[in-house]
Amino acid sequence: MSSQTAQELGYEIHRLSPRLHCLRPHAAVSGESFARDVAFTLGGSSKSINPKWFYDDEGSALFGQICTVPEYYITVTESSILSRIGGELGSFLARDTRLVELGSGLSSKTRLILDVMEGVQDEMEYLPIDISDVLAESCHGLLDDYPRLEITGIIDTYHGGLEFLSTLDERPNLIAFLGSSLGNFDAGEGELFLKKIASCMGERDMLLLGLDLDKESGVLEAAYDDTQGVTARFNLNVLTRMNRELGANFDLSAFAHRAKYNGSARRIEMYIESLADQDVAIPAAGAAVRFGRGELVHTENSHKYTIPRIREMVREAGLGTDAIWQDEENRYALVLCSKQGRPRRT
């Protein structure tokens, strides 16, 4: 893709090194849209905060820490499956398959896929898409370790990044959407997003989807309320962000983190509970919000899946399931899908 096309699509191009450039939309997510959004979601009788606001620098770093706490089995389990299936995954890749990653964050699991690509390809291309600036930082480390790798980072929403994908040349893409991030979409929205991904896929593209499987509530609640309190800090950090960016006056000691498993909806729900009757001003949002003692502010859903449900969602998105890999305890699944069913290289 030429730099002219990127500019026509409304991206600023930042050349960070000869093998790394990042694209950022001219109209980046601004403080104004954060203010507008929280004014709306905290303004009604049932309060919520969109989890997309979790990921400022501190929130992204805290999420990185969550991935290492013993109770949060998701990251280690996914990584162990990826390490185990390397050769098999490699058999699905062409010599020119480009890796596209939605929500790459710290790119830690990316390395496991790049290791597979390194065994199959002479030149490797990686296109991470993430709303957070952490993307650029993590890419520098990858360049040092993979001398044959070229990276184009897209600092944008998933939707923006997927639109960008459709402007690229005909090389096949392996779109990785890992960490069970699909689970954070609202009910119904995840299924729609899967359809959106499928609509951007060509005949030679594949999707590698990491999804957390439904399990005992105790295991799930511990994963989202770890004993070190990292998830609590991650959840409450959104209030600190409002204090800093929107001039709000949240007293963090008057709010607490809560995580509950909702069995009928098959999801973990995270909340921030107000520990007192209190009023909070959010000047940049032009809002004064009253919280009652015990009132819950919904901050995140994390949906959990069964294998039949995954097969159904994939089918409804118009894709076929080429492979499903699980860990020994059936905690987590990695699913490879494509439009027509991908033959393996022999």
Q: What are the distances in angstroms from CA 174 to CA 46, 102, 114, 141, 205? A: 40, 11, 11, 21, 6
Closer Cβ to ligand AVI, 91 or 157, answer by number: 157
Determine the Cα–Cα distance for residues 236 and 95; give it in Å rounded to an integer: 45
Among 23, 179, 214, 257, binds ligand AVI (CB under 6 A): 179
Among 181, 237, 274, 338, binds ligand AVI (CB under 6 A): 181
Q: How many residues bind ligand AVI (CB under 6 A)?
A: 11
Closer Cβ to ligand AVI, 181 or 237, answer by number: 181
210 binds ligand AVI (CB under 6 A): no
* Subset of residues 295 to 314 that bind ligand AVI, contact rule: CB under 6 A: 300, 302
180 binds ligand AVI (CB under 6 A): yes
Q: Which residue is nearest to ligand AVI (CB)?
A: 302
Asked if 321 contacts 311 with a C-beta cutoff of 8 angstroms, the reply is yes
* Subset of residues 61 to 90 that bind ligand AVI, contact rule: CB under 6 A: 66, 74
132 binds ligand AVI (CB under 6 A): no
Among 224, 255, 261, 305, binds ligand AVI (CB under 6 A): 224
Two structure tokens written together for 311: 């097969």
Closest-CA residue to 8 (of 26, 33, 32, 30): 26
271 binds ligand AVI (CB under 6 A): no
Closer Cβ to ligand AVI, 124 or 176, answer by number: 176
59 binds ligand AVI (CB under 6 A): no
Among 184, 237, 274, 338, binds ligand AVI (CB under 6 A): 184
* Closest CB 105 distance from ligand AVI, rounded Å: 8
* Closest CB 71 distance from ligand AVI, rounded Å: 10
Helix axes 158-165, 189-199, angle to 10 degrees: 20
183 binds ligand AVI (CB under 6 A): yes
With contacts defined by CB under 6 A, name the span among 77-85, 119-127, 180-188, 280-288 that binds ligand AVI.
180-188
152 binds ligand AVI (CB under 6 A): no
Closer Cβ to ligand AVI, 173 or 302, answer by number: 302
Side chain identity, residue 153: G
With contacts defined by CB under 6 A, name the span among 157-165, 173-181, 189-197, 250-258 that binds ligand AVI.
173-181
176 binds ligand AVI (CB under 6 A): no
Closer Cβ to ligand AVI, 164 or 234, answer by number: 234
* Subset of residues 15 to 34 that bind ligand AVI, contact rule: CB under 6 A: none
CB neighbours (10 Å) of residue 293?
11
Closer Cβ to ligand AVI, 153 or 179, answer by number: 179
Closer Cβ to ligand AVI, 11 or 234, answer by number: 234
* Closest CB 29 distance from ligand AVI, rounded Å: 17
Question: Which residue ranges make up the site for ligand AVI (CB under 6 A)?
Answer: 66, 74, 179-181, 183-184, 224, 231, 300, 302
